[in-house]
């Protein structure tokens, strides 16, 4: 039996912060796990370093399911994004090790390819409609078959989802910026600009839109109804999912497909949404939801209700997490789509390998394990620097949902 001899937490910031768990075995196998939680990076790093790493030493790295349950059920405090991101990092590193020992890519260990490649969507955004259409055209130029479109709302300064510079990067400040939000302005404008994007795109290209939990259930129903003719692939996060039953109201009023879950992290957070068929796509990610071991259970459960996967895949999940997502996406029966924002070039100085993008699809690496390596020497050049997402307030100063 091989044993875990070291578990180290590494932090780097090649333009943004990434937290990585490195597990080393007595046989000299190294596994990499992603532990990046945007804006709470150091909390997860401490959770791992102070409370999880010591528990791993001496354990058999082959026993993934057992270690997962030890860290979830065996710990008094369970669930929550910080816990589930920490557990995910361990899980990803152990799958990486298992693949390297077996000399197989992780998707083979999970049952093998259920499709040729993984359909992805990317982001297009603009401060106004002409800028958005330019960005949509650029995404088409790169071959994307599914595009998420977000435009600035006139009169609403700093609308979420609109890029700054070359890359969409809302986590841009050492302390959170304050931005404005105006629901009525958004509801008047969004259906109109999405219509313009729909007309601009070839009909076979899928159009997605992210609402970022900004609406009440009734407002979301109104929005969903107003864009039904556009046949959106989905409207994302129409309202917070803290009350899972509130999606019933949206569902009873509109046939616009619904995706949710990027801020959720366990099967319990989406159980009712799935079992009552209140959503069409579940957006939990490998990195924030307990890794491959837990997310596979969520997707298998969703399969029973014809709910498909649509995992969160922003550039604030590291390339290790993104690689893990693509391995899992390859193997499940109810895969829907995978978000893929891509990374600034500088990120590839630290993370080598990973899935290959071509023509709107990602293909996992055939290298053993997750197929991605972390360059510790390169990583050491990029020191942690705090970066926070903005906070939104309404005209009267009330804090609004993210
Ligand atoms: O804004 O991951 O659908 N994707 C998204 C993301 C989120 C960031 C926040 O950390 O909503 O781009
Ligand atoms: Co989103």
Q: Which tens digit of pLDDT belongs to each residue from 342-352?
A: 999 999 999 99
Contact 328, 286 (CB under 8 A): yes
Question: What's the pLDDT score for residue 156?
Answer: 81
Q: Where in the chain is the domain with CATH 3.30.390.10?
A: 4-104
Provide the pLDDT for residue 170.
72
The reply to whether ligand 1 has any atom less than 6 angstroms from the CB of 311 is no
pLDDT at 161 over 70: no
Instruction: Quote the ligand 1 centre to 75 CA distance (angstroms).
Output: 29
Average pLDDT over residues 376-392: 95
133-142 contacts at long range (C-beta below 8 A, 24 or more positions apart): 133/196, 133/197, 133/200, 135/163, 136/197, 136/200, 136/201, 137/200, 140/201, 140/202, 140/205
Distances (CA, A) of 290 to 44, 59, 115, 267, 304: 13, 19, 24, 10, 21
pLDDT (average), residues 374-389: 96
Is the pLDDT reported for residue 160 higher than 90?
no
Checking if the pLDDT of 141 tops 80, the result is yes
Taking residues 289-306, what's their average pLDDT?
Answer: 98
Token digits of residue 264: 């959720």
Residues recognised as catalytic: 160, 212
Instruction: State what percent of residues in the chain have pLDDT above 90.
Output: 93
Domain 4-104 has CATH 3.40.50.720: no
Asked if residue 168 has pLDDT above 60, the reply is no
Over 60: is that where the pLDDT of 167 sits?
A: no
Can you tell me the mean pLDDT for 305-324?
98
Residue 159: band (very low, low, confident or very high) from pLDDT cuts 50, 70, 90: low
With a cut of 90, say whether residue 166 has pLDDT above it: no
Where are the domain boundaries for CATH 3.20.20.120 in the chain?
109-367
Look up the CATH number of domain 109-367: 3.20.20.120
- Work out the mean pLDDT of the chain and round it to a whole number: 96
Range 51-74 average pLDDT: 98
Is it the case that residue 45 has pLDDT exceeding 90? yes
Choosing from 314, 322, 401 the residue with most ligand 1 atoms within 8 A of its CB, the one to mutate for a pocket test is 314
Instruction: Return the pLDDT at 335.
Output: 99
Contact by Cβ (8 Å): 281, 310: yes
Give the residue among 303, 325, 315, 307 at the shortest CA–CA distance from 372: 325
Cα-to-chain-centroid distance, residue 55: 27
The predicted pLDDT at position 110 comes to 98
pLDDT over 60 at 258, yes or no: yes
Q: Is the CB of 269 under 6 A from ligand 1?
A: no
Cα 330 to ligand 1 centre (Å): 22
């Amino acid at each position: 039996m091989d044993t875990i001899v070291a578990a180290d937490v590494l932090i780097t910031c090649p333009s943004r912060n990434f937290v990585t768990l490195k597990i080393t075995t007595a046989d000299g196998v190294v596994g990499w796990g992603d532990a990046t939680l945007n804006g709470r990076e150091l909390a997860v790093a401490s959770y791992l370093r102070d409370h999880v790493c010591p528990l791993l030493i001496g354990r058999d790295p082959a026993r993934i399911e057992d270690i997962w349950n030890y860290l979830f059920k065996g710990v008094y405090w369970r669930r929550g994004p910080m816990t589930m991101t920490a557990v995910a990092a361990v899980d990803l590193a152990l799958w990486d090790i298992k693949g390297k020992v077996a000399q197989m890519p992780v998707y083979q260990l999970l049952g093998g390819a259920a499709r040729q490649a993984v359909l992805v969507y990317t982001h297009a955004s603009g401060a106004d409609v002409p800028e958005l259409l330019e960005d949509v055209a650029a995404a088409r130029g790169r071959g994307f078959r599914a595009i998420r479109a977000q435009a600035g709302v006139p009169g609403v300064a700093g609308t979420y989802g609109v890029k700054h510079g070359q890359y969409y990067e809302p986590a841009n400040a050492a302390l959170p910026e304050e931005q404005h939000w105006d629901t009525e302005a958004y509801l008047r404008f969004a259906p109109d600009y999405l219509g313009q994007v729909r007309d601009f795109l070839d009909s076979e290209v899928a159009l997605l839109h992210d609402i970022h939990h900004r609406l009440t259930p009734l407002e979301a129903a109104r929005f969903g109804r107003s864009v039904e003719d556009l046949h959106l692939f989905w409207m994302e996060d129409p309202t917070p999912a803290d009350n899972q039953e509130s999606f019933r109201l949206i569902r009873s009023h509109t046939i616009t497909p619904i995706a949710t879950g990027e801020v959720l992290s366990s099967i319990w957070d989406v159980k009712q949404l799935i079992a009552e068929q209140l959503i069409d796509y579940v957006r939990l990610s490998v990195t924030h939801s307990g890794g491959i071991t837990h997310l596979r259970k969520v997707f298998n459960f969703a399969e029973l209700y014809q709910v498909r996967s649509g995992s969160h895949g922003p550039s604030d999940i590291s390339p290790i997490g993104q690689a893990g997502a693509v391995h899992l996406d390859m193997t499940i029966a109810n895969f829907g789509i995978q978000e893929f924002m891509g990374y600034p070039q500088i990120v590839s100085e630290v993370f080598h390998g990973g899935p290959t993008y071509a023509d709107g699809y990602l293909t996992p690496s055939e290298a053993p394990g997750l197929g991605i390596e972390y360059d510790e020497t390169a990583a050491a050049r990029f020191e942690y620097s705090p970066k926070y997402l903005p906070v939104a307030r309404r005209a009267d100063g009330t804090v609004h949902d993210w």
